[in-house]
């Protein structure tokens, strides 16, 4: 409602300025029309430019905050992302801030809070397939850590169209290996095959960030005590 009223007020002000130009300068209809078109284009381009600059500035702020991940300052990162989400007027920036807050909660192993944020997006990110895929992938991992196995399986199956599109890309290849091993280990009580798949995953995913995930998977395989 506030947005509608703002647009209405601006429309009235704009029409008043055009009318003042017509009367004050003694312009004819054609001249007024030209002024109207030119000014409308300037306002439109200006509004788009301001919006783009606004978003770029905030995106850079968010990217800078993500450097705190490497320093292990997850709480500080979450607090600053939360401040951005509360103050920005851009819906896009709000979503990016919330999404990265969820990633930060995952980094600090608060899977419950991360899951809550990821699920609150609903289907609102589906127009951005790669972002939606990342949300679903990380939500699956949260469900596994929270032992919400049936929810993880349901989401994994439902997300196939999103996952298949990015499964072989360099940025996500290792994460899908991890997710697939989770699926096998949790839903198949074949210790020998599970250990084989975990060993293969370790050879393919050599980044240290995966080691704790592999240790957790190994604890599940050891008698499937965690299932």
pLDDT digit string (tens) for 126-164?
888 999 999 999 999 999 999 999 999 999 999 999 999
Question: Residues 208-220: what's their mean pLDDT?
Answer: 91
What's the confidence (pLDDT) of residue 5? 47
What's the confidence (pLDDT) of residue 25? 54
Nearest of 134, 216, 204 to residue 174 by alpha carbon: 204
What's the confidence (pLDDT) of residue 227? 43
- The fraction of the chain above a pLDDT of 70, given in percent, is 76
- The fraction of the chain above a pLDDT of 90, given in percent, is 49
Q: What is the pTM of this model?
A: 0.76
The overall average pLDDT reported for the chain is: 82
Question: Is the pLDDT reported for residue 12 higher than 90?
Answer: no
What's the confidence (pLDDT) of residue 33? 56
pLDDT digit string (tens) for 24-64?
555 555 555 555 566 666 666 666 776 677 677 778 888 88
Distant-in-sequence, close-in-space partners of 142: CB < 8 Å, separation ≥ 6: 106, 111, 112, 114, 115, 118
3-state secondary structure the chain: CHHHHHHHHHHHHHHHHHHHHHHHHCCCHHHHHHHHHHHHHHHHHHHHHHHHHHHHHHHHHHHHHHHHHCCCCHHHHHHHHHHHHHHCCCHHHHHHHHHHHHHHHHHCCCHHHHHHHHHHCCCCCCCCHHHHHHHHHHHHHHHHHCCCHHHHHHHHHHCHHHHHHHCCCCCCHHHHHHHHHHHHHHHCCCHHHHHHHHHHHHHHCCCHHHHHHHHHHHHHHCCCCCC
Domains in the chain: boundaries: 167-226
pLDDT digit string (tens) for 75-87?
999 999 999 988 8
**Integer CA distances (angstroms), 94 to 66, 88, 89, 129, 208, in order:** 15, 7, 8, 18, 31
What's the confidence (pLDDT) of residue 226? 43
pLDDT digit string (tens) for 87-120?
888 888 899 999 999 999 999 999 999 999 999 9
Q: Pick 73 or 21 by higher pLDDT.
A: 73
Question: Is the pLDDT reported for residue 214 higher than 70?
Answer: yes
Least confident segment among 120-129, 140-149, 171-180:
120-129
């Amino acid at each position: 409602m506030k947005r509608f009223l703002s647009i209405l007020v601006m429309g009235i002000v704009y029409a008043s300025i055009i009318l003042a130009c017509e009367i004050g300068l003694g312009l004819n209809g054609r001249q007024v029309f030209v002024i109207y078109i030119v000014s409308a284009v300037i306002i439109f381009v200006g509004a788009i430019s301001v919006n783009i600059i606004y978003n770029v500035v905030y995106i850079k702020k968010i990217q800078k905050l993500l450097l705190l991940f490497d320093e292990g300052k997850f709480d500080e990162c979450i607090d600053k992302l939360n401040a951005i989400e509360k103050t920005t007027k851009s819906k896009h920036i709000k979503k990016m801030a919330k999404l990265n807050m969820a990633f930060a909660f995952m980094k600090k192993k608060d899977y419950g809070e991360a899951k809550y944020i990821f699920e609150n997006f609903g289907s609102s990110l589906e127009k951005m397939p790669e972002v939606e895929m990342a949300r679903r992938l990380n939500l699956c991992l949260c469900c596994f850590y929270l032992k919400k196995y049936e929810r993880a399986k349901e989401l994994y199956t439902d997300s196939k169209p999103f996952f298949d599109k990015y499964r072989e890309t360099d940025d996500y290849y290792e994460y899908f290996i991890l997710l697939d091993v989770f699926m096998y280990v949790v839903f198949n009580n074949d210790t020998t095959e599970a250990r084989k798949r975990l060993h293969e995953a370790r050879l393919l995913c050599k980044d240290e960030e995966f080691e704790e995930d592999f240790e957790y998977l190994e604890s599940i395989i050891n008698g499937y005590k965690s299932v």
